[in-house]
Chains A and B, each alone.
Chain A
């Protein structure tokens, strides 16, 4: 019998300091396994997550941020906030850690195909959105206008700055905003919710992708709904406590849904009705 709880070892091949509290880790399989491939050749779907950690330290759920078609390695982003994340921050390139997954459903890439896509995220919510953008860039002609609205506390907290520039070259409208004005910042100031006037989309043919903490939900009220986009076309990547990742332990349940199995991506219609927020 296959053991659904058995983690696999990966090697950290690259660590980047993304902000004072956030590091990104590039992981490569070790030993005899390769990342399993989906039908389309990708090693995961954008929006799926991994349980990363080590025996003795525990596991935590992280959205994957690298391009899904990169099959030799994958990348995650970690903010030091607890036992597992601080442990990960203490590691060096070459160290081995464990992963399980990828788990979950991911963003509905087929639904987005042929539509304009608006992505809204803030702070550490960028990884699954980054994977989605990489996927879209790899199939750029199949998607319409793409907007990324990205909010951060301060310029230092803007993650993956190099990627943001690179995406702009691929016809992705990247709009970054910081909470408070600081000297030297020439971009937007204010919450992502103030960016509505920047968006010019086909309201009847649009999909939304979101990931981020609770306040991001305000963005739905202030940007997405006023744009005239239906709740069913808004997809949110949710965060919940996770222990098993395979629908047994009950920690991530919300109403009749398991965030680990039915999610982590849900349309807002599902979330709005019965969820503990």
Chain B
């Protein structure tokens, strides 16, 4: 619990610093680069677009952490590494806070920069292999 709070605090601090007129905030980047398909609430479009709700579950499985960066919407976006790391961290807490493990280490720019060099050419099969088929029921 304390660790989650600490992570959130560090994270929120990062957000506040970002909001002070420098790099684009995660919320802004989400709207401009993700919301068009993933919607304001991170919900699925059944049969077409997977949900962001529940993405925290990937953090609990081997290979899940890289997966969240290697999906094409993330790896091929024009958001620079540091903002992208912030964006993924923000997104996890925004849409899947309950699933984020207690010992979650926020993504760093270096890590994101590394994973995004290998965009996935196969997403569905890999996803199912990691956490099974996704539940398309809107929450």
A binds B: no
Interface residues of A (CB under 8 A from B): none
